[in-house]
């Protein structure tokens, strides 16, 4: 059992329609309690109007990310005991995104940038062709595989100070997706990807501060993926476009 | 100029500056060892095509590199956008180029007149 009977949780309330303000709640303390459990307890027992988002509760869907003590985290996999400071925690909506209400951030800019970064598949074959064999040990495939466990939680996007300073910047997740496709042997339009990440707010805006890699809950490395895109665009500049 | 071209210009100007900085520092340390006076240094640099080209290219690279670097800082920290940003970056670049070119002219070409 926890040695505390309760914890004090400060939740950022409000949104565009109402002014934002912090509200304190006293929540019973349990052992093995996650931040998402605490938020759910408030919503179910104290204030049913508290707005937040979650789905899987096991770190797969990427929908429950919030700011916890000023740091972006996946709340379903964040134990209260690890983030408790003097019996208190602060929970807020994700940084760098518009707030819909309370703890629910508007993810539209985040996903729009996935599209802007050309984060879509460009097929090499049609459905009538035989499936092309890809060697999983191939260096390029291994590079692509490093980024495919992204759960679109937007924690890297919230952690990124370049996004905070430049709202056009595509952000770590979208650029990592572009790098994954660039290295995918089944993607037919590498030039379209490099064009998409070379424009306004593209990979060259990154200052390599590395918050994306530091905060990624899945241990991915968008910082290196963005460095890869910078290398690829520079190489194309000197060598010319692929024929 | 696309953002990518500005990025390349800043990286390439850094590449050009690196040997210039090392030679500049090395020659400075070497030159003062024997207690050279300013007049003696100017006697060697004035009329020298080599030092004119050396510091001339150095100043061009610095003006380009610093203006592009500050352009990003002004965009992210001061919120400048569009034409204001482009105009301010040009003013910084041309200002640095003017100041630097003036100094290079005085140190290397002063003796030619």
Model pLDDT for residues A198-225, shown as the tens digit of each residue: 999 999 999 999 999 999 999 999 999 9
| Chain B residues 12-71 with CB within 8 Å of chain A | none
A65-81 per-position pLDDT tens digit: 999 999 999 999 999 99
The CATH number for B81's domain is 1.20.1300.10
Which overall architecture, per CATH, does domain A6-105 show?
Roll (3.10)
- What does the alpha-carbon distance between residue A9 and residue A78 come to, in Å, rounded to a whole number? 14
Number of domain units in chain B? 1
What pLDDT does residue A1 have?
Answer: 45
Chain B residue at shortest CA distance from A231: B8
Q: Which portions of chain B are predicted below pLDDT 70?
A: 111-113
**Distance linking the first and last C-alpha atoms of chain A:** 66
pLDDT-derived band at A51, boundaries 50, 70, 90: very high
Q: Is the pLDDT of residue A238 over 90?
A: yes
Instruction: List the CATH code of the domain at A108-239.
Output: 1.10.1060.10
Does B2 contact chain A (CB < 8 Å)? yes
Cβ of B76 under 8 Å from any chain A Cβ? yes
**Is B77's CB within 8 Å of A165's CB?**
yes
d(CA A137, CA A133): 12
Domain boundaries, chain A: 6-105, 108-239
Across the range A144-165, mean pLDDT stands at 96
- Please give the residue range of the domain that contains residue B33: 3-109
**CA distance readout (Å), A22 to A10, A15, A87, B94:** 6, 12, 17, 49
């Amino acid at each position: 059992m926890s040695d505390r009977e309760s914890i004090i949780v400060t939740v950022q309330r409000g949104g565009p329609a109402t002014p934002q303000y912090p509200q304190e709640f006293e929540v019973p303390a349990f052992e093995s309690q996650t931040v998402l459990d605490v938020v759910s307890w408030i919503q179910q027992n104290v204030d049913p109007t508290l707005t937040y988002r979650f789905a899987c509760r096991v770190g797969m869907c990427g929908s429950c990310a919030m700011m916890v003590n000023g740091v972006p985290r996946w709340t379903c996999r964040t134990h209260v005991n690890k983030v408790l400071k003097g019996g208190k925690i602060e929970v807020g909506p994700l940084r760098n995104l518009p707030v819909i209400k309370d703890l629910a951030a508007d993810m539209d800019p985040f996903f729009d940038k996935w599209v802007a970064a050309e984060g879509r598949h460009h097929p090499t074959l049609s459905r009538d062709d035989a499936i092309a064999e890809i060697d999983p040990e191939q260096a390029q495939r291994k590079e692509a595989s490093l980024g495919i466990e992204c759960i679109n939680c937007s924690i890297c996007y919230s952690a990124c100070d370049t996004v905070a300073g430049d709202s056009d910047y595509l952000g770590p997740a979208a650029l990592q997706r572009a790098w994954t496709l660039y290295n995918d042997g089944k993607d037919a339009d590498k030039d379209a990807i490099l064009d998409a990440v070379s424009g306004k707010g593209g990979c060259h805006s990154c200052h390599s501060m590395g918050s994306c890699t530091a905060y990624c809950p899945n241990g991915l490395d968008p910082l290196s993926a963005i460095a890869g895109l910078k290398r690829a665009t520079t190489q194309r500049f000197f060598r010319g476009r692929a024929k | 100029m696309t953002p990518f071209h500005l990025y390349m210009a800043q990286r390439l100007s850094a590449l050009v500056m690196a040997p210039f900085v090392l030679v500049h520092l090395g020659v400075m340390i070497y030159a003062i060892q024997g207690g050279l006076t300013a007049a003696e240094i100017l006697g060697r640099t004035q009329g020298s095509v080599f030092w004119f080209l050396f510091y001339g290219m150095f100043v061009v690279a610095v003006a380009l590199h610093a203006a592009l670097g500050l352009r990003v800082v002004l965009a992210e920290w001061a919120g400048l956008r569009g034409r204001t940003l482009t105009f301010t970056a040009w003013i910084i670049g041309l200002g640095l180029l003017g100041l630097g070119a003036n100094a290079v002219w005085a140190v290397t070409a002063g003796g030619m007149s």
